[in-house]
Structure 1
């Protein structure tokens, strides 16, 4: 394999720590990845928080949607991922976006992909929410890449800042390909299971390809041979040691 992929730690390094937490992000940096990716939801008082699910249950063991609580309450919850780790990480909390950016601002050339989720974001709140995220990401400059599955979020991010953006595909279709050429993102993200079988070509465009949920060496090598630039994984240490 002549071309080496760049490894993205999916929600941080989650082998040892709960996803989307500061320890998971720090562990990913320590492993030596080229990039990290994490998710952003919004509290009831519109604070961008680093969290994937719309519901609190899986990560905290608490009932309710994240958008139903002010951040002051969310900050009291343990983001310990009890099903995976029990009470081992009970002192870990849900971070704000600004906390994650502060942690990552002195990490050299590390690229930071910030995915805005729509679950906790009403349509009328998109401009203000994207502006809040963009402002929080300012210390990273163009190392911060706002990504989303929602084209409206990408368009808003493009209008607010000069930095790169990424679009996350929801399906592999002609319609999505046309939309990609309209949006012209800097990065296209796709779940590995959505890709057409080899030897179908990936869409050519101005973007770099990032494929996620890739947790084994053989699949990663195949994707790189097809033209994928970034491999997003939950097995960051393994892929960094073997591929990057």
Structure 2
């Protein structure tokens, strides 16, 4: 069984995260999937950026949600990484989807601060994602929001991102949503709790782990049957060994 690599915010080891340049480079690597983050602009357009503020990854400042799409796309989102990416801007969700429209690449879409979105924003997001429904996973750390979204739009796949031991539990997850079957834990939770990992797998959970940048950790995970991993830089190595189990 081969590793299935998911490019974290695009090919973010060699290009500025969550930009079209980063996604284009991931596409050229023929990755299994890409992961990226979505916020809404002040005028109701979903945009692809990780932070709720502009300061870290652009030459702008302030909150993403307080800027219009025109304002957001006027900022330089690439020079912080390397001057050769100075033309990169914050892409809209539609721009990113268009880039992958003719591919079979899986899309792992993390919703940021969705509990503050209006119903019209939620509906618009679902409308935009409808054409890629069969190959996208809508993920979030906001579990109650995600459960409600699945109740409203059950035709999509949903993934529960977890970062602590309390949440890495079938009892916790099934209490939230008995129909959920995709979990995205930090890799340390898998390595620390192998018996629980086995239980989740036996109960039919699909496990996608983040963010793995060391080959040795990838190999450890494969020993538990975990081969779908989100990574920044393993795309730039020789092919990972096949899982021998």
Q: TM-score, normalised by structure 2?
A: 0.87
Structure 1: which 4+ aligned runs deviate by more than 6 Å?
none
Q: CA deviation at 1:150?
A: 1.0
Counterpart pick for 1:168 among 158, 161, 170: 161
1:185 aligns with 2:180: yes
Match of 2:140 in 1: 148
> In 1, Cα distance between the equivalents of 2:90 and 2:221?
33
Counterparts of 1:22-101 in structure 2 under 5 Å?
22-80=20-78, 82=80, 84-85=81-82, 87-101=83-97
RMSD between superposed Cα atoms in Å: 2.1
Any gaps of 5 or more consecutive residues in structure 1? none
Q: CA deviation at 1:96?
A: 0.5
Given the superposition, is the C-alpha separation of residues 93 and 137 from structure 1 closer, same or farther in structure 2, using an over 3 Å criterion? same
- SS state at 2:107 partner: strand
> In 2, Cα distance between the equivalents of 1:243 and 1:104?
27
Give yes or no for contact 1:212–1:233 (8 Å, CA) kept in 2. yes
> In 1, Cα distance between the equivalents of 2:20 and 2:221?
29
Q: CA deviation at 1:141?
A: 2.9
Give yes or no for contact 2:8–2:34 (8 Å, CA) kept in 1. yes
- SS state at 2:37 partner: strand
Q: TM-score, normalised by structure 1?
A: 0.88
Q: 18-27 vs 168-177, which deviates more?
A: 168-177
